[in-house]
């Protein structure tokens, strides 16, 4: 699918986003710009003394002094170039680290309500590929902008001191080059946006198909999907080549006009030195002056050549900002929000007219009010689609609270319960590693005794005793190697290891057989005293252990009357 070129509003919005991110690397970026201007100022000194050495050689005068001065300016310029490059790299590294942290924090803050609507591979591509696309923009393009303004101005003034015509050649030709580059730049921005969008879709498709490989093999669809991936990869190749063609076109335009300008300077100096100018210029050029402006001419266009080489970095950055924008909105500070501690005692919860409406306008939970008692097993009952899962996600902060109030022990809860309550979803996520790490999530504050106690309370003792390595037994990604019931009990142990007095569970037994469900519910009964357990389910077995049963569908109907 083709994307149109960015309009003025898009450019302004993405420009504001890029400017905000750039503050993280502002100091090294300014240093890079200063060093860049300094290196061209030092080149003026080098050009003057190098021209003087050649003129002295022709005149039979001593050349050692001018040569030493030229060598000194060349050495200082090399130092300035090294500082510019290193500072640019540092600016880029700081910004990329900052943006990657913002994006990761933004995705985490939005929770399942956001990630469930996006491909995992596409989000991974945004955090990796899109962020890396910012490298050239902050490392080369932005530090170069002050150099583009400062360096040609300094060299034009230096040329005017020796020849007003040479200065005019610089003054007239310099604005033409960025003009033609800007014409090509619009097409380059659209092509780069296309390329990055295709890359995100390709990454998402490959990741999802890889995880679904058993399903594809079962339905003999693996070869068809492989062919689809080959077509998608070919599409990405074609769009990448289009970006490269436009980048080369931009460079070719710059080199062509720069070559014409240098040729015009050489013709003027040559005819002036030979005395063959067809008209009176009102000035006399010496060999020293002529060589000085000739040496200066190619370097005068060097910042613009560098801009041409880095010009596509701006298009890449705008495309990357467009991909990252949903995860990192304009104005996101990136500061760490304070994490409230878990509840010390089983809390009571009341919901007053709460409602959830997603960004796409879909209503996930109609207005509803209810009370969940402290220290009780509360089962939220109802058919699929009535809003049970959304209600729990809204409590955790994973779904938006569009109206109403959440109250905990009578106090209004301004943020979700994430980090304050245990959470067990329909398909608890286990990571590649051992069982201990999946319980602690690498939290060093959880002691070994606490892990063992949590595993025992969650009903894992029999499993761990049957495994040769116990808690150190490795499990694959998504819990490969464990049954559904065992995965659920590991997730329960994860909450118990943190002494959570409030645990929310979304259809925890939906994928368990009768025996596994009975064992899991037995574990719940054993840990229920002193805790508030909220379970969304339509399982009769779960209903049997409820201290209070809340028919959500009935509450919604009553609220709508």
pLDDT at 75: 96
pLDDT at 120: 58
Q: Name the H helices within 458-513.
A: 461-466, 484-496
The DSSP H or E segment spanning 365 is strand 363-372
| Rounded distance between C-alpha atoms, residue 499 and residue 501, angstroms | 6
Q: Is the pLDDT of residue 348 over 80?
A: yes
| Rounded distance between C-alpha atoms, residue 210 and residue 127, angstroms | 19
- The closest of 40, 3, 414 to 197, measured between CA atoms, is 3
Stretch 488-498: mean pLDDT, rounded? 82
Stretch 266-279: mean pLDDT, rounded? 81
**Residues 356-395: tens digit of each pLDDT:** 887 777 888 888 888 888 888 888 988 887 888 888 888 8
Q: In what order do the strands lie in the sheet with 349-357?
A: 363-372, 349-357, 403-408, 411-412
pTM listed for this prediction = 0.63
**Residues 155-184: tens digit of each pLDDT:** 999 989 988 888 888 888 777 666 665 555
Integer Rg of the chain from CA: 34
Q: Is the pLDDT of residue 79 over 50?
A: yes
| Rounded distance between C-alpha atoms, residue 408 and residue 348, angstroms | 6
Taking a C-beta distance cutoff of 8 angstroms, is the pair 122, 203 a contact?
Answer: yes
Residue 90: pLDDT band by 50, 70, 90 thresholds?
Answer: very high
Q: Is the pLDDT of residue 512 over 50?
A: yes
The DSSP H or E segment spanning 457 is helix 448-457
Mapping DSSP to helix (H, G, I), strand (E, B) and coil, where does residue 532 land? strand
Candidate from 121-130, 245-254, 529-538 with smallest mean pLDDT: 121-130
| Domains present along the chain, CATH in parentheses | 23-324 (1.20.1560.10), 349-560 (3.40.50.300)
Q: Report the chain's mean pLDDT, rounded to a whole number.
A: 80
Mapping DSSP to helix (H, G, I), strand (E, B) and coil, where does residue 320 land? helix
Q: Is the pLDDT of residue 489 over 60?
A: yes
* CA 167 vs CA 18, 90, 150, 177, 256: distances in Å: 36, 36, 15, 16, 20
Stretch 227-250: mean pLDDT, rounded? 80
Percent of the chain with pLDDT over 70: 84
Candidate from 77-91, 325-339, 542-556 with smallest mean pLDDT: 325-339
> Which letter does DSSP use for residue 127 in this model?
I
Q: Backbone dihedral region of 363: left (phi > 0), alpha (psi from -120 to 50 degrees) or beta? A: beta
Residue with token string 């002056």 = 289
Distance of CA 140 to the CA centre of its chain: 19
Tokens of 527: 């840990």
Candidate from 4-8, 98-102, 114-118 with smallest mean pLDDT: 4-8
Q: Is the pLDDT of residue 480 over 70?
A: no
Residue 325: pLDDT band by 50, 70, 90 thresholds?
Answer: confident
Taking a C-beta distance cutoff of 8 angstroms, is the pair 80, 31 a contact?
Answer: no
Mapping DSSP to helix (H, G, I), strand (E, B) and coil, where does residue 522 land? helix
Neighbours of 335 (CB within 10 A): 8
Would you report the helix, strand and coil content of the chain in percent, each value rounded to 5? 65, 10, 25
| Rounded distance between C-alpha atoms, residue 25 and residue 31, angstroms | 10
Q: Name the H helices within 301-415.
A: 302-324, 388-396
Stretch 469-491: mean pLDDT, rounded? 78
Q: Which residues contact 413 (CB under 8 A, 6 or more apart)?
A: 405, 406, 407
pLDDT at 336: 46
Residue with token string 């909450």 = 495
pLDDT higher for 378 or 443?
A: 378
**Residues 183-223: tens digit of each pLDDT:** 555 556 566 667 767 776 777 677 777 767 766 777 777 77
Q: Number of helices and strands (H, E) in the chain?
A: 22, 11
Residue 80: pLDDT band by 50, 70, 90 thresholds?
Answer: very high
pLDDT at 46: 94
pLDDT at 117: 59
pLDDT at 260: 79
Tokens of 37: 């201007």
Q: Which of 122-126, 342-346, 405-409 has the highest mean pLDDT?
A: 405-409
The DSSP H or E segment spanning 423 is strand 422-424
Q: Is the pLDDT of residue 110 over 70?
A: no
| Rounded distance between C-alpha atoms, residue 142 and residue 15, angstroms | 12
Distance of CA 335 to the CA centre of its chain: 16
pLDDT higher for 267 or 185?
A: 267
Distance of CA 489 to the CA centre of its chain: 34
- The closest of 539, 433, 535 to 478, measured between CA atoms, is 433
pLDDT higher for 315 or 376?
A: 376
Q: How far apart are the first and last CA of the chain?
A: 46
**Residues 7-52: tens digit of each pLDDT:** 566 677 777 888 888 888 999 999 999 999 999 999 999 999 999 9
Q: Provide the β-strand partners of residue 504.
A: 423, 534
Give the up-direction half-sphere exposure of residue 342: CA atoms within 13 A in the CB hemisphere. Answer: 18
Taking a C-beta distance cutoff of 8 angstroms, is the pair 167, 160 a contact?
Answer: yes
Give the up-direction half-sphere exposure of residue 407: CA atoms within 13 A in the CB hemisphere. Answer: 14
Taking a C-beta distance cutoff of 8 angstroms, is the pair 481, 528 a contact?
Answer: no
């Amino acid at each position: 699918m083709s994307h149109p070129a960015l309009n003025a509003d898009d450019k302004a919005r993405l420009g504001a986003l890029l400017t905000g991110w750039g503050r993280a690397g502002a100091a090294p970026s300014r240093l890079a710009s200063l060093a860049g201007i300094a290196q061209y100022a030092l080149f003026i000194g080098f050009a003057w003394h190098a021209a003087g050495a050649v003129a002295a050689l022709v005149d039979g005068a001593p050349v050692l002094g001018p040569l030493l001065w030229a060598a000194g300016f060349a050495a200082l310029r090399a130092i300035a170039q090294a500082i510019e490059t290193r500072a640019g790299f540092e600016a880029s590294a700081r910004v990329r680290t900052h943006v990657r942290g913002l994006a990761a924090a933004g995705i985490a803050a939005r929770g399942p309500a956001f990630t469930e609507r996006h491909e995992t591979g596409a989000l991974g591509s945004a955090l990796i590929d899109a962020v890396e696309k910012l490298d050239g923009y902050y490392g080369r393009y932005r530090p170069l902008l002050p150099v583009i303004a400062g360096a040609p101005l300094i060299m034009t003034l230096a040329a005017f001191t020796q020849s007003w015509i040479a200065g005019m050649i610089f003054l007239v030709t310099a604005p033409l080059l960025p003009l033609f580059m800007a014409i090509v730049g619009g097409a380059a921005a659209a092509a780069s946006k296309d390329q990055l969008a295709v890359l995100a879709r390709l990454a998402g498709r490959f990741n999802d198909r890889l995880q679904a490989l058993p399903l594809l093999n079962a339905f003999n669809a693996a070869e068809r999907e492989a062919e689809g991936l080959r077509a998608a990869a070919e599409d990405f190749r074609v769009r990448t080549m289009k970006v490269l063609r436009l980048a080369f076109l931009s460079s070719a335009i710059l080199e062509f006009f720069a070559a014409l300008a240098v040729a015009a300077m050489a013709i003027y100096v040559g005819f002036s030195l030979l005395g063959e100018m067809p008209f009176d210029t009102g000035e006399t050029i010496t060999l020293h002056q002529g060589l000085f402006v000739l040496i200066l001419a190619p370097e005068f266009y060097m910042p613009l050549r560098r801009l041409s080489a880095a010009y596509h970095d701006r298009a890449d950055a705008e495309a990357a900002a467009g991909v990252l924008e949903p995860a990192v909105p304009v104005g996101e500070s990136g500061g760490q929000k304070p994490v409230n501690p878990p509840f010390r005692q089983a809390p009571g919860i009341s919901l007053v007219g709460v409602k959830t409406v997603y960004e796409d306008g879909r209503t996930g939970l109609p207005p509803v009010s209810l009370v969940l008692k402290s220290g009780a097993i509360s089962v939220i009952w109802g058919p699929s689609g009535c809003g049970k899962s959304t209600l729990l996600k809204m409590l955790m902060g994973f779904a938006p609270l569009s109206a109403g109030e959440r109250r905990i022990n009578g106090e209004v809860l301004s943020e979700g319960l994430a980090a304050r309550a245990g959470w067990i979803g329909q398909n608890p996520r286990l990571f590649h590693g051992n069982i201990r790490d999946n319980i602690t999530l690498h939290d060093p504050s959880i002691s070994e005794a606490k892990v063992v106690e949590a595993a025992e309370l969650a009903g894992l003792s029999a499993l761990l005793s049957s495994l040769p390595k116990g808690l150190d037994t490795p499990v694959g990604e998504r819990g490969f190697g464990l049954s559904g019931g065992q995965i659920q009990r590991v997730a329960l142990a994860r909450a118990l290891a943190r002494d959570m007095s409030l645990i929310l569970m979304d259809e925890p037994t939906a994928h368990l057989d009768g025996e596994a469900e009975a064992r899991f519910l037995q574990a719940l009964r054993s840990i229920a005293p002193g805790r508030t357990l909220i379970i969304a389910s339509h399982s009769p077995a779960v209903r049997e252990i409820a201290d209070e049963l809340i028919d959500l569908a009935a509450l919604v109907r009553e609220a709508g009357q």
